[in-house]
Amino acid sequence: MRILSVENLSKLYRVGKQGPGSLRDLINSCWGRWAGKTERAVDANHALFSAAQRGPRLNTFWALNNVSFSVGQGEIVGIIGKNGAGKSTLLKILSRVTEPTQGKAVLRGRVSSLLEVGTGFHPDLTGRQNAYLNGAILGMRKKEIDRRFDAIVSFAEIEKFIDTPVKHYSSGMYVRLAFAVAAHLEPEILLVDEVLAVGDAAFQKKCLGKMGEVSKDGRTILFVSHNMVAIQGLCRRVIWLNDGKVEKDASPAEVISSYLKVPCSSKTHQLWEDVSSAPGNEKVRIRCVRIRAQNGEGPEDITIQAPLTIEIEYWNLKSGAHLNLSMGLFNEEGVRVLNTVPIDEPVWHGRAFPAGLFKSVCQIPGNLLNDGIYRLLLLVVQDQGTVIYLHEDILVFEVRDVVDENRGGWYGKWPGAVRPNLVWSTELMEPVEP
């Protein structure tokens, strides 16, 4: 039984100039819509504009372009693709957060979504109140929510804070409660975006197990993730989105193998000199991020043996803020190889930051990383618990293998997430006479 059908779904966004333009353009646009002579579209601000307006003055792009697929009851379908491929846009349309420009999506049953940290929660309401509010939005009666409430709180492991306004939650607490609510209120369709990357490994494993249980009860799950190991272990079907289109729809092994063979564009140095347009928000903005080999300058010098330096320059815009950076390094299969925070930073860790430009430097020793493609996730954390800015794939780089005479004749891809050069010793304990 088909529980979700997507037919020629497209989403057009407009970049740059917003608003209808001149009064004349607005009158023409309104007349055209009334007369039914123009094409209907929705931009990022949900503003209508006509086909006649889509001239060279407007910079537009298709976040989704004629996407079609259907999902049966009880299926777990993985959605993969690089950043900007249209994964989150697809889930937002299915969640009714935004409208499609063309095409349609038909969903049969209640839909619960976990799209990004904080989505669907009111910051001034407590965890308890938000749980009941989400249930009411799904059309559930209070008695139904009452029966599941204890299970929600137990799964989220926030018993002590359930009556605390969620604006005081850490990002991890936020995600735990949001997932618990989404999974336990028994929707027919569950949409999960990459928000689980914010949680710790134990919580991610717990969530994956819960999604497996949910599917056995006949409920359908669409799971967006960069973690290929999680996708392959949980899903029986994977859809690969590439530049807003369905590149492949098949078994996990077949799709993931094709996806990983596509070369990625390296980003070893990014610079934003204008603070007003730099990535970030009203609290912090990123000026520069760079990775380099300590004894070299170019990307070709980043090898398995080379010590690496990651440099991040950022503007703190709020005087008195207690900030620290957190960096997660993911390999090409989406496995988090390591996470690092400046616990031992000798000068600024734990101190209030004045407003100004800061530079943080992290050292990665040589002979640690395996060869392959790596992606860096950057989080800016306030008060050691609240993520105030997150930037995926802020750096993308390749660690190259080298010819080493001490490898014992082995050359090729070594198994494992890391490849440390560990110290070994061998001794003869007792000779045996021939």
Query: pLDDT tens-digit profile of 233-267?
Result: 888 899 999 999 999 999 998 998 888 777 777 89
Q: How far apart are CA 302 and CA 5, in angstroms?
A: 46
In the predicted model, what is the mean pLDDT of residues 212-224? 85
Reading the block at residue 337, the tokens are: 């190889």
Whole-number pLDDT of residue 15: 67
Whole-number pLDDT of residue 44:
35
Phi-psi region of 350 (alpha: psi -120 to 50; beta: other; left: phi over 0): left
Share above pLDDT 90 across residues of the chain, in percent, rounded to a whole number:
34
Q: What is the pLDDT of residues 352-406, one digit of tens each?
A: 999 999 999 999 999 999 988 899 999 999 988 888 999 989 999 989 887 654 5
Predicted confidence band at 274 (pLDDT cuts at 50, 70, 90)?
very high
Lowest mean pLDDT among 55-64, 65-74, 347-356: 55-64
The string of pLDDT tens digits covering residues 18-59 is 554 545 555 555 555 554 443 333 333 333 333 334 444 457
Give CA–CA dist 287/315, Å, rounded. 7
What pLDDT was estimated at residue 46? 37
Over residues 227-238, the pLDDT tens digits come to 887 888 888 899
Domains (range + CATH), the chain = 2-9+63-260 (3.40.50.300), 18-57 (no CATH), 269-406 (2.70.50.60)
Buried-state track 360-395, b at ≥16 Cβ within 10 A, e below 16: bebebebebbbbbbbbbbbbbbbeeebbbbbbebbb
Least confident of 14-18, 156-160, 418-422: 14-18
More confident residue, 54 or 321: 321
**Alpha carbons 295 and 414: distance in angstroms, whole number:** 24
DSSP 414: P
Is 80 exceeded by the pLDDT of residue 191?
yes
Give pLDDT, residue 197. 59
Q: Which two tokens stand for residue 353?
A: 């930051």
The pairing of beta strand 308-316 with beta strand 245-250: unpaired
